[in-house]
Amino acid sequence: MAGYTDTKDDHLKRLRRIEGQVRGLQRMVDEDKYCIDILTQVSAAGRALQAFALELLEEHMAHCVAEAIATGGAEADDKIKEASDAIARLVRS
């Protein structure tokens, strides 16, 4: 079971909204809309994607990482390293 099972519907709803934002961007490009207006929408889609990632990460730490730590051993260290690497990718992207 993934750590986000309870919030799956919210995540799907959020991702569908982001998909809509990306389709909106295609429409703007297709209709030769002004670059700056497109860029504003790109920033909004980027922030929405980031908010999704942060929520997923928090759930992952509260469930998967916490369980691994409660169980202990090498698995716990691995999970922490893995989460830290994912955070680094997010911070740098």
Question: Applying CB under 8 A, which residues contact a copy of itself?
Answer: 1-5, 8, 11-12, 15-16, 18-19, 22-23, 25-26, 29-30, 32-36, 38-40, 42-43, 45-47, 49-50, 52-54, 56-62, 64-66, 69-70, 72, 76-77, 80-84, 86-93
CB of 58 to a copy of itself, least distance (A): 4
CB atoms within 10 A of CB 43: 10
CB of 41 to a copy of itself, least distance (A): 10
CB of 13 to a copy of itself, least distance (A): 10
Residue closest to 61 by CA, chosen among 26, 90, 92: 90
Token pair of 82 as six digits:
């893995």
CB of 62 to a copy of itself, least distance (A): 5
3/13 Cα distance (integer angstroms)? 17
71/58 Cα distance (integer angstroms)? 19
CB 43 within 8 A of CB 19: no
